[in-house]
Structures are given as C-alpha cells and as structure tokens.
Structure 1
Amino acid sequence: MALKLYEIDSPNLLLERNYPNTCFSLDTGIYESITHLDASFGKGFYKEIFFDGIHIGYGHANLFKRMRFRFESDFETVEMHFALKGSSYASGEMMPSGVSFDAHQHNIIYGNSICGKMEWGDQEFQLCEINLSPEFFKKFLPEDSKFFDEFRNAIDRGRSGLLMNLNRQITHEMYEIIDGITRCERKGIFKKIYLEAKIMELLLLQLEQLQVDDRAAVSLKKTDIDKIYAVREFLLQNIDGNSTLINLAHAVGTNEFTLKKGFKELFGTTVFGFWHDAKMEHAKKLILEADRTIGEVSDLVGYKNQRHFSDAFKRKFGIPPSKLKRNF
C-alpha cells in the first residue's frame, strides 16, 4: 500500500509513503508517525495515526507558492475529509469532474487506486483526513436509504467519488471533535478507545448533515463565511478577552447584522453564547488538569470578579467551580 507524489510535469518523486497491509486491518496495535516539511515552497508537518482499520492524518503548512503535483495510490479507502484552512483541487480518470475544497468544508470520499493531479493554493493550509476501510465504513451506513444506498453501491462497484456533490460547512461541534482527536495525549488501548469513539461521533455528525437536502445548505457568501470563521478563531484564541459585537465585526471587515445572522446559521448559537461556553469549558479544563486556584482560573478566562465567574460556572455545569476542584 503506497501513496506517491510527483512533480507535475516530471518523473521526480516528491514524497512516497508506504503503509503496512495492517493499516486497514482489525485488532492491530496503534502506530504514529510525523513527516516534517521544510522546503523552498513551504514549511509544515503531517501527523499520522493508524489502528484497527482506521488511518488519521492531520497536516498544517504555510505554502509560499501555488503547488501542483501528480499523485498515485494503490489502495481502497473511504475518507472523511475536513478542509480546515486553505483550498485544494484534485482530478483524475476516476473523477473527471474533479474534487475541490475551500476552507471550513467537509465531505466523504471513496477512492479506489486513484491517480491524478492536485493543486494547493499559496496560503496557510490545514486539513484532517480520516481513512476507513470500506467494509468498516459500510457497517455504519444507514439501511433503507436511497441516498446512502447509491454511495454503498458505488463502493461495491469500485467507483471512486463523493458521497455528496456539494460540500458542507464544518460545524463548531465537528471542530471540537477534530481538536480532541488531533490533541489526544492518551496512550495504548485508552487512546484507541478514545479516538474510535470520537471518530464515530464525527462520522455521525457528517452523515446527519450530508443527508439533508441541498436546499438546506448554508446561504452565506464564501467571503462572509471566511470572516465568521475568523471571528470564531479569534474568540478561541482570546479566551481571557472581552469585546463588543461591533468591534468583532469591524475587525474582520463585516457588519453586526451579518456576523449575528451568519454565526447563528453556521454554529447554531450567538457570538457571545459561543464565547461564554468556550470560556467555561476552558475553565473546567484548567480546574481539572492544572494546579490553579479558582481566582487564577477566573482571571485566565476574562472574569475580573471571581463571584461572577463562579455564578456563570454554576449555571453552565450545575456545580460551583470550588466543588469541582474539591471533588477532583
């Protein structure tokens, strides 16, 4: 089982990854590796984990120029694909219409010994791809559904393609699960249990969202979607901060109405409801995993008044932070 990348118009090999046949076998150990990129066209890394019929790949790179290359693979897989940042385009004999992803989009791809061309934009590029063996994946496809039966039949015939022609937006809930998968520090069997549970949860969210009629897709313009995701990232990077809606909107070049409407449409909550929940989840993690006083935690999530923080924490989790710390 191998994946090879070549320069677009030459036989020069850029990268070759050989995977053991056990990569998509059940009842194996857990294997991890990381490949670093340090070249004239970009810098970054690609981390891989595989076990029990599952392969997880997570990459982050800053590309200094547009990249075009040829690729070859000799294995069969179902890929849960998440384009977190940047855009890409791929085409090949098995997919003549091509497959393209913009930032914050996801889909499910079936590939059977695919060869073709790929292009990445000159930008920050981040993706998460989870590969499942077709037999493993088909166990979780809903029965008696024309929508899923077509994809199941394509797999049975060995015809590469997408589960859905239209990509969907990655939700905040999906981002949280992906973050948990890529940051998991457990070891051995406990890591396998955790990762498999999270992948099944992520697959559930994908299948539920993808089966909804195309007309239910997000109505926002791509430029507005990018700005709203930029606000989301800013909020998560500034857990201890405070800001107004108008300041957040102006910081990314939009207005309050578009930000409020778009945030609700993409993430199912308000801007400040999202930020409050993120602060409380971070506070809970600090209490459980770090040696911090309640006062220190309050400061770290942007509360100047410890009592106000304790009240907000209790409304969120049902117990005050002091009780959580004592129980821990």
Structure 2
Amino acid sequence: MTQSEEIVTQEGVSQKALESVFLYNRDMEVSYRSYISDPKKLEIRLSHPDASQLVTFQMIFVLQGTVRLNQSGGGDYCKQVDQHQHNIYRTSFKSSQMLVDAADDVICINISPAFVDRFLPGDHIAYQRLWLEDQSKNPFPLSEVNMQISPEISAILQRLGNAKHSAFSDQLLLESKAIELFALQISQFEQMQMNKAEPKLKALEVERMHQAREILIAQTGNQLSLRALAHLVGTNEFNLKRDFKAVFGKTVYAYLNQHKMEQAKTMLMEEDITVAETSKKMGYKHATHFTNAFKKYFGFLPNKIKTGKLSMLLFLEDFVAFLESFNSVAI
C-alpha cells in the first residue's frame, strides 16, 4: 500500500496532508496541496507510474463536510458529495482533482480497474455505468444521486478510522473491508435502480428526512414515538414513514435498530464496557431484551465479544476474505 511522502509545493501553495486516503490500488500515488489564499481547502491529486494507466476508481464516504470533484484546468463540470453521503467515482489521473476542507471528515478508498473487473461481472448495471457510460466525463459517478451512509457502512468506516496504516494486520483489514464496503455500495445502487419508478420527493421532504435521521441518531438511547419525531421535523406520521423509507431504504424503526446494533457491536469490541452498560446506552430497560435483539440481528450473543472469542473469529473471517481475493488474482 504505497502512499507518496512527497507533498506537492508550488508558489502560493503550502504543505498539507490528509490521513484518511487509503490506497487499495498499490501502485498509485497521492499528493496534496493547499493554497495560501484559502488554506482550509485541500486539493488531492492522483498519479500512476505507468503512463498506460488512465483511470482509477474512488470509493468516497463523507461523514462531515463536502467533497468536490472537478476536471483539472477548470471548466464547468463539477460533482459533489455531501455530509452522510457516499458514491464511487471513475476519475482520470491526468484530468481530475478532488477538493476537501482540511477539517472535513472524509474517507476515500482508491481501487484499481482490476478490482472493479474482478468483483463486477461485465453485464452488471454498475459495471456498465462505471466503465462504459460517458467516457468523456471524468470524474464520473456510479450513481447520479449520491447514496446515503447506512449504519452498517458507518460502523465499518469507524473501524477503518481507528486502524493504524502501518500495521500489517490493519492492511489486511483495510483490504477485506474495502471489499465489504464495495459490496454494500453496489447493493445500495441496485436498490436505487429498482426504486427509480417511484415518484421523486421534493427537496424539502428529503431535507426533513435527513433531519429525522439526525434526531434518531442523537437520541438513540431515548424513547421517541413516530408522531413526536414527525412533529419535530414538520410533517405527519404517514409522510414520515413513507418518505423516510424512500430516502434511506428502510423503515424508521428498522434504521434505528440497525444503528443501535452496529453501535453496540462497535462499543463492545473497542470500549471497556459491559453488556448491561451497553444495553442501557442503547435505551433498553432490560439487558435480556437487548441480548435477544442483538442475537436476532447478528446471530450470536453480545457476551461472545467480551470473551475475546468473537474478535478472533471476525479477524479470521477478514483474513480468509483477503486470502480468497488474493488467490483469485494469482490464478
């Protein structure tokens, strides 16, 4: 996993680096620069030592802030990924640039064309979109409408953010999680294609659903009725249930349950906390109710994590997934 240590410096440019750019495409290099006129903005450029390599793909996840992707040298063509959104972009080494704010919370995983070829069949709609459509436009998105970061994706990103880039085990973890994130992105894209026939929501309705999502997450451990949530975002219960599912692909309660379970799993794996304490933080009055919900969602009891047995199992699964992908390349 190579990453350029040389930071591009030119007149009017200062040195700056970004931590959460992961290179699954091992031969690629990344460089950064920020301009004195606007030191908060960080420009990211990609390069490849092989001149025949013209494009790469970027899995972009924005937890906070905004990412803008432009064609180098100006022009009107510009794409943007906002907070709590993600997408996959085909970008050109020579004609694409990515702009972020230095304070933004963004994770970008760069994957090679071979990665896309290996995991997507040629007749898949995502493959055709990424490889065959509008070759004149780079950067080019998988989905014209950015996808929403789900609790499952958020939990994986949180684990990646805590990884040490230099550790060999963390490199294995990154590569296995890159495959998992890629699968989740493709799955969400497929779902969006199936929902295209449904009437589109107005911008205000979409904004209200994002507000509802923020309230759900902020009040994870509190009891909140659908009627109360609808009132907080200025709509009614019927519209809340319909519009929330249209935006996020899940009912309000299904989304909240997924968020609770993923957060609980992360807390149990990474924090010094008991199952009972986790249950209370997730808003359960009785630990047995939490335990049953956890087992129903994951298929195992939460105390398996605290014994250390599950952590080893999860790592072994990650390692096996990496070896399988590695062997498929070797063959």
- After TM superposition, the score normalised by the length of structure 2 is 0.64
CA RMSD of aligned residues (A): 4.5
1 or 2, which has the higher strand percentage? 1
CA spacing shift, 1:183–1:237, aligned 2, 3 Å: farther
Please name the residue that 1:107 is paired with. 88
Instruction: Summarize the alignment of residues 282-301 of structure 1 with structure 2, pairs less than 5 Å apart.
Output: 282-301=263-282
Q: Is the 8 A contact 1:5 1:15 kept in 2?
A: yes
Q: Is the 8 A contact 1:72 1:115 kept in 2?
A: yes
Q: Is the 8 A contact 1:4 1:71 kept in 2?
A: no
Query: Are positions 1:198 and 2:171 aligned together?
Result: no
SS in 1 for 2:109: strand
Per-residue Cα deviation, 1:184-233 (whole angstroms, up to 9, x for no partner): 46972321222111111222233444463793588233343343234334
- Cα distance in 2, alignment partners of residues 297 and 69 from structure 1: 38
Please name the residue that 1:13 is paired with. 13
- 1:270, distance to aligned residue in structure 2 (A): 2.1
Q: Is the 8 A contact 1:55 1:130 kept in 2?
A: no
CA spacing shift, 1:255–1:143, aligned 2, 3 Å: same
Query: Are positions 1:261 and 2:242 aligned together?
Result: yes
- Cα distance in 2, alignment partners of residues 322 and 293 from structure 1: 8
What is the total number of aligned residue pairs between the two structures? Answer: 287
Please name the residue that 1:47 is paired with. 20
- Cα distance in 1, alignment partners of residues 105 and 125 from structure 2: 33
Q: Is the 8 A contact 2:21 2:110 kept in 1?
A: no
Please name the residue that 2:77 is paired with. 97
Per-residue Cα deviation, 1:95-153 (whole angstroms, up to 9, x for no partner): 75332334425232222212679697xxx844322212334444334224587357436
- Cα distance in 2, alignment partners of residues 108 and 77 from structure 1: 8
CA spacing shift, 1:214–1:107, aligned 2, 3 Å: farther
SS in 2 for 1:269: coil
The residue type paired with residue 222 of structure 1 is: A
CA spacing shift, 1:200–1:242, aligned 2, 3 Å: same
Per-residue Cα deviation, 1:259-310 (whole angstroms, up to 9, x for no partner): 3222222333322232233334444444555454443333222223344444
Please name the residue that 2:208 is paired with. 227
- 1:238, distance to aligned residue in structure 2 (A): 3.4
Instruction: Please list every run of 5 or more consecutive structure 2 residues that lacks an aligned counterpart in the other structure.
Output: 31-37, 49-54, 310-331
Instruction: Summarize the alignment of residues 1-328 of structure 1 with structure 2, pairs less than 5 Å apart.
Output: 12-15=12-15, 35=17, 46-50=19-23, 53=26, 74-75=47-48, 76-87=55-66, 89-92=68-71, 97-103=77-83, 104-114=85-95, 125-144=104-123, 148-149=127-128, 151-152=130-131, 160-164=138-142, 166-172=144-150, 173-184=152-163, 188-210=167-189, 212=193, 215=196, 219-317=200-298, 321=302
